[in-house]
Copies of this chain bind each other. A is one copy, B any other.
Amino acid sequence: MGIKKDSVDYSLYLVTDRNILKGRDLFAAVEEAILGGVTLVQLREKEVSSKEFYNTALKMKQLTSHYGIPLIINDRLDIMLAVDAEGLHIGQEDLPLQAARKIIGADKILGYSVSNLDEAKQGKALGADYLGAGPVYYTGTKSDAGKPIGLEELKRIKDSVKIPVVAIGGINETNAAEVKQTGVDGIALVSAILGKQNTGAISRQLISLWKGN
């Protein structure tokens, strides 16, 4: 692949959710976010047919490739393979990590959602390339997100694993600075970017907050 997995910049990780776009076009919004400074895009689709997920992923891959940004597919390994995305993100209710790695091979990025230190250690042991840790704060985005883990557990996770950790859940421009203090490699955002009309400006603000100090 054109993008080497060891040199991925996890700083500003955008996770898509077409339900919060309020009528705006998904691709236009993601492009704005990329132009604003997003460094990685995860395409997450729920309750769509495989055909629709595939078509969306294909178009998203063209967009992210155009900007040299890695595309990560949520959950669906088949879609990832079919569009040759850079990576796959799996959660606790998805395919087992080892089964996924066996199929996608060593060159693809494999992300894993964790909500505590045990899961983080397990994820690292089973071959995850990075961890999505959270929810850090309360969030309305994912109904199954669970209780916030807080900054201390986030820091404990980052201190314990050597792989990149991306914080997720309720992060926005008001708390990004304190999240950065934990030492994590990046912040993942859904509604704080895609739920806003000023997607580009918010992305610029977030990336400068993150890279600034």
Residues of A within 8 A of B (CB): 49-52, 54, 75-79, 81-82, 90, 92-96, 99-100, 103
Copies of this chain, tallied across the complex = 2
Task: Give the interface centre of A49, A50, A52, A96 by most chain B CB atoms within 10 Å.
Answer: A50
Name A48's closest neighbour in chain B (CB-CB).
Answer: B93
CA A82 – CA B79 in complex, angstroms? 14
Write out the residue numbers on chain B whose beta carbons fall within 8 Å of the beta carbon of A81.
77-78, 103
B82 pairs with A51, CB closer than 8 A: no
Given A49-B94, A51-B93, A82-B99, 19 more A-B residue pairs with CB atoms under 8 Å apart are A50-B90, A50-B93, A50-B95, A51-B92, A51-B95, A51-B96, A52-B93, A54-B96, A54-B99, A76-B78, A77-B82, A78-B78, A78-B81, A78-B95, A78-B103, A79-B95, A81-B103, A82-B100, A82-B103
